[in-house]
Amino acid sequence: MSVTSAQGFVASGVSAGIRPSGKPDVAVVRSVSAAVGAALWTKNRVQAAPVTVSKRHLAAAQPQAVLINAGVANAATGPQGEADAVTSAEALAATLGLATEEIIVLSTGVIGVRLPVDKVLAGSRAAADSLSPEGGGAAASAILTTDSGPKVAAVTTGGFTVGGMAKGAGMIHPRLATMLVVLTTDYPLAAGEPEVFLRPAVEATFNRISVDGDCSTNDAVILLANGASGARRDDEMFAVALHEVCADLSRQVVADGEGATVVLEIGVTGAATEPEAEAIARRIATSPLVKTAAFGHDPNWGRVLAAAGSAPYGDEFARLDTASLTVSFNGTAVFVNDAPTDAEPDVSGAVCRIDLDLGLGAGAAGYLASDLTYDYVRINAEYTT
């Protein structure tokens, strides 16, 4: 269950001394046969150096390997940061016998600190030396920062496998994934095709989760496909498998949100349009008042209503009418026909489902979010520049 679950992929993770804790911090993932690939990147106006460099590489070649370091994000580091990212890619390419443009580089960690290039190069060499089909777990551990543990997933179906790993605990908010994700598959795809499958899968999963509403400078979702399974094409089945792996990983990211104790599943139906449903779901998912109420296991539908009624959409708020809407917590309606039902839903569990049916149209959207807790504050007030 990892980036090496699919045939023909090897990976590794090593400790290179970048993270002060001494924990593993350099990972490499490689396809052993010729792969095609695609990436989706953060839309933040501040883009980390590895993002800029990897975009350039992807425009020039099909990606064959991914080099990831944790501890330092190599963001807001200017031309020096780009040079450092290029140096890292060049070194791994030389070691693996690939072209520099065939390497994707990703970084996660503190913003505004120069990449410790010597440590990354030494780590990259050590990681290249230990690449193995069993290395998926080690790679998944070497890309973490404030995460409490590795996040891996895989689906095997129709003679092929889709596997993946993710990193992300804070700064998790769409546009896009606001985390690092590497997906691999031995399903046969031609150049240009990975993006066609990746975009809708990400839109419905990683772009519908929120831990703190913040959007990182380094976020990326990478898909490598090498066709090593020799499976017959069944694109619908592949799309479903890819979606499942993305959904599994995105849920793991929310559940491991910094300080999270509750996963909020937010479902909006009956909105005037789908974009308005998404705007309302996102607004609820990012409301500090809703998220603290979730932490307190309080079915506070008043805050849900207040958030839903102030969902930015174009120049105003998404349409909503209390006369036609229904709010439910874990399946129990708490607000119907413009009035509270006085029902008392059970929200004692670690998952809290909030459904809004707006009664206006056919627009629907879902969102996953974590609660806002003391530990979120502790982690982020103490984690330093």
Identify residues 298-357 at the interface with its own copies (CB under 8 A). 298-303, 305-310, 312, 316-323, 335, 337-340
Candidates 19-27, 31-39, 69-77, 248-256 — which segment interacts with its own copies by CB under 8 A? 69-77
Helix intervals (H) in 271-360: 274-285, 288-295, 301-308
Catalytic residue (one of 178, 217, 269, 373): 178
Judged by beta carbon, residue 169 or residue 228, the one nearer its own copies is 169
In the complex with its own copies, the residue whose CB is nearer, 30 or 208, is 208
How near is the Cβ of 229 to its own copies at its closest, in Å?
A: 38
> Smallest gap, in angstroms, from Cβ of residue 125 to its own copies?
28
Q: Which of residues 156-175 bind its own copies (CB under 8 A)?
A: 170-171, 173, 175
Q: Which stretch binds its own copies (CB under 8 A): 126-134, 139-147, 224-232, 284-292?
A: 284-292
List strands edge to edge, sheet with 160-167: 36-41, 220-225, 180-185, 160-167, 151-157
Rounded CA-CA distance 282/273 in Å is 14
Six-digit token pair at 225? 């496909």
Active site residue 178: yes
How many CA atoms does the CB half-sphere of 297 hold within 13 Å? 8
User: Does the protein bind its own copies through residue 52 (CB under 8 A)?
Assistant: no
Q: Burial code of 63-79, b = ≥16 C-beta within 10 A, e = fewer? A: bbbbbbbbbbbbbebee
Closest listed residue to residue 205, CA positions, set 187, 221, 194: 221
20 binds its own copies (CB under 8 A): no
Of 15 and 322, the one with the shorter C-beta distance to its own copies is 322
Q: Nearest approach, Cβ of 342 to its own copies (angstroms)?
A: 10
**Residue 313 exposed, middle or buried by CB count within 10 Å (0-12, 13-18, 19+):** middle
Among 83, 99, 289, 333, binds its own copies (CB under 8 A): 289
Question: 75 vs 142, which CB is nearer to its own copies?
Answer: 75
C-beta of residue 147 within 8 angstroms of C-beta of residue 260: no
DSSP class of residue 257? S
Instruction: In whole angstroms, give the CA distance from residue 31 to residue 227.
Output: 10
> CA distances (Å), 196 to each of 192, 303, 350, in order?
7, 38, 35
Contacts of its own copies in 72-111 (CB under 8 A): 73, 75-80, 110-111
Give residues 223-282 in contact with its own copies (rule: CB under 8 A): none
Q: Does residue 222 touch its own copies according to CB under 8 A?
A: no
- Cβ 221 to its own copies shortest distance, Å: 17
- Neighbour count for residue 332 (Cβ, 10 Å): 16
Task: Write down the least CB distance from residue 301 to its own copies, Å.
Answer: 7
Residues marked active site are found at 178
